[in-house]
Amino acid sequence: MFPGVSTGGVLMADTRYAQIARELAARMASGEMPVGTVLPKEVDLAESLGVSRHTIRAAITELQQLGLVSRRRKAGTRVEAATPTGHYRQSLTSLEDLVHFGATHTRVLRGTATVVADRALAAQLGCAPGSRWLRVSFVRMDGSPSGLPMGWTDVYVDAEQGDVSDLPARIEAAPDMLVSTLLEAHYGRRVVQVRQDVQGALVPSELAEALQAPAGAPALRIVRRYLDGAGQLIDLSITVHPADRYTFSVQLTREQASATAALAET
* 17: number of Cβ within 10 Å: 21
> DSSP class of residue 39?
P
Q: Is residue 164 part of a domain?
A: yes
Determine the structural domain holding residue 243 and report its residue range.
Answer: 99-248
Looking at 86, 112, 141, which one is the last position of a domain? 86
Question: Could you report how far apart the first and last alpha carbons of the chain are, in Å?
Answer: 53
In 126-214, where does DSSP find H-type helix? Answer: 167-173, 179-187, 208-211
Q: Is residue 108 part of a domain?
A: yes
Domains in the chain, number: 2
Strands 132-141 and 106-116: antiparallel
Name which of 170, 105, 101, 173 is nearest 140 in CA terms: 105
Same domain, 59 and 128: no
Q: Is residue 127 part of a domain?
A: yes
Same domain, 47 and 162: no
The identity of residue 119, as a single letter, is R
Model pLDDT, residue 146: 55
Q: Is residue 145 part of a domain?
A: yes
Model pLDDT, residue 12: 39
Strands 10-11 and 69-72: unpaired
**3-state SS assignment for residue 177:** coil
Same domain, 107 and 73: no
Q: Is residue 48 part of a domain?
A: yes
Same domain, 105 and 209: yes
> Any idea what the CATH number is for the domain that residue 47 is in?
1.10.10.10
Model pLDDT, residue 98: 52
Same domain, 24 and 137: no
Q: Is residue 1 part of a domain?
A: no
Model pLDDT, residue 1: 31
Which residues of the chain are modeled with pLDDT < 50?
Answer: 1-13, 86-92, 95, 99-100, 103, 145, 259
Q: Is residue 92 part of a domain?
A: no
Phi and psi at residue 216, in whole multiples of 5°?
85, 0
Distance CA 71, CA 73 (A): 7
Model pLDDT, residue 13: 41
How big, in percent rounded to 5, are the helix, strand and coil portions of the chain?
Answer: 35, 30, 35
Q: What is the distance of C-alpha 17 from the center of its chain?
A: 18
**3-state SS assignment for residue 156:** strand
Same domain, 74 and 115: no
Same domain, 157 and 36: no
DSSP codes of every residue in 205-225: GGGHHHHTS-TT-EEEEEEEE
The identity of residue 222, as a single letter, is I
Same domain, 40 and 119: no
Q: Is residue 265 part of a domain?
A: no
Looking at 58, 86, 114, which one is the last position of a domain? 86
Q: Residue 141 is inside which H or E element, if any?
A: strand 132-141
Burial class (CB in 10 A: 0-12, 13-18, 19+), 87: buried
> Any idea what the CATH number is for the domain that residue 230 is in?
3.40.1410.10
Same domain, 78 and 104: no
Phi and psi at residue 16, in whole multiples of 5°?
-60, -45
Same domain, 140 and 243: yes
Same domain, 38 and 160: no
Same domain, 20 and 116: no
